[in-house]
Structure 1
Amino acid sequence: MQNKIGIAPSGGENLLFLTDDQLRRGIEAMFFAYRAFTADPDLILAEMDYGRAHHRALHFVNREPGLTVTALLDVLGVTKQSLNRVLRTLIDDGLVESRVGRRDRRERQLFLTDKGSALERRLSETQRARMRAAYRTAGPQAVAGFRQVLEAMMDRDTLRQYKALKDLTEPK
């Protein structure tokens, strides 16, 4: 069956004329996928009395060792007060190290300790496995389409931040 512009829709849906029900199903799929994506790390974090903010901080410090507190604030989009609580806990627990900036001594650069790297790896292993399995199941075209959809949902500043992160070399 062809759609209004004469093209057979893939997956049975005409993507140019989505109904509210179709959009609602997409929103619900995102909610449930996110719940599944965060479930395993949440269990590990709960054991340590940490939350998702701790995980996000560990992830981005791992992604870019030496990341400044200011840059992390920008990436996470949280208040300074909120980030300071999270960082203080991670530093006090020996997971993150804060060093004086190389170029600007007023800056604080963040690095994971060995203990922090081990926790970040443990938290992300299950997420990588879940993403890998989903990507393999969906196939390369679906993966590319998924990324396009996610990027199209981002506002201009968020997309700029994401693309800047994408250009970093892969973490060790």
Structure 2
Amino acid sequence: MVQRIGTMAQDDRPTDGRDESPEERADRLWAELLQEVRVAQTGAQIMFGFLLTVVFTERFTTLHGFDRALYVAVVTLGAVATGTLMAPVSYHRMLAGRHVKPRMVASAGRLVTLGVALLALNVGAALLLLLKVAGLTWGAWAISAAVMVWFAVCWVVMPASLLRRHGSKRQE
């Protein structure tokens, strides 16, 4: 029987209710990370694809000044978000079999967090562009800001609140 000491078992296994080795834990976390990436990456790629088509429409020629610069920023954010969310694939291809999965999971996890933040900025900026082109001037700014606040509440504030209420210790 394994004797529990603090939050770790005597054999360095976390006491989070799972009986898994560090390698098994890394495999599980990697699989969970890839599932998360699939959701975010699909949305990012679809949005990026639609944004690329805008430049080929007649309406695009009417964009000038700030709106055209905003379009460039939106497309650039979309490209960077998509590339960042795809980075775990490259990590896995380059690092598979090299016995670095726990570090790979941690690093790829940070990239996914960054990719989701970039995707939020991309959605907010695309919404601003769309609403401005639709004729809303200051309303576009207010609605886009409200959506960004909503993302912050759903994606940051609510999970942080849950951690505060139910414990914030992370088992690595």
- Relative to the length of structure 1, the TM-score reads 0.32
> Which structure has the highest helix share of the two?
2
Compute the TM-score of the two structures, normalised by the length of structure 2. 0.32
